[in-house]
Amino acid sequence: MPRYFFHVTNGDRSARDVDGVELLDFSAADREAREMARDLLTGSVVTRPEWAGWRIEVRDENGNQVLSFPALQD
C-alpha cells in the first residue's frame, strides 16, 4: 500500500508528518486529509481565525504533492 504524508503549513511555519500513513489509494488519502482538517478545527486550542492561511498538503512516498487545500473548510 502507498504511504501518504500529511503536512500543515502557512508558508512560514509548518508541521511536517515524518511517519506518514499507509492507505489504500488517493481517495483514502483525500478522506484522511479532510477528516484531519475537521479534527484540527474541533479538537484544537487554536481558534478558527488563527487557522486562516494554513493549508494541508498531502505528499506521496516519492515526495510528490498529490493534494493541497485550505485547513479551513466551510
For residues 21 and 17, what is the distance between their CA atoms, to the nearest angstrom? 9
Alpha helices in 1-74 (DSSP H): 26-42, 48-51
pTM, 2 dp: 0.84
- Is residue 31's pLDDT more than 70? yes
**Residue 45 pLDDT:** 58
Confidence of residue 66 (pLDDT cuts 50, 70, 90): very high
Partners of 61 in beta bridges: none
Residue 29 burial (CB < 10 Å; 0-12/13-18/19+)?
buried
Q: What are phi and psi of 35, to 5 degrees?
A: -65, -40
C-alpha cell at 42: 474541533
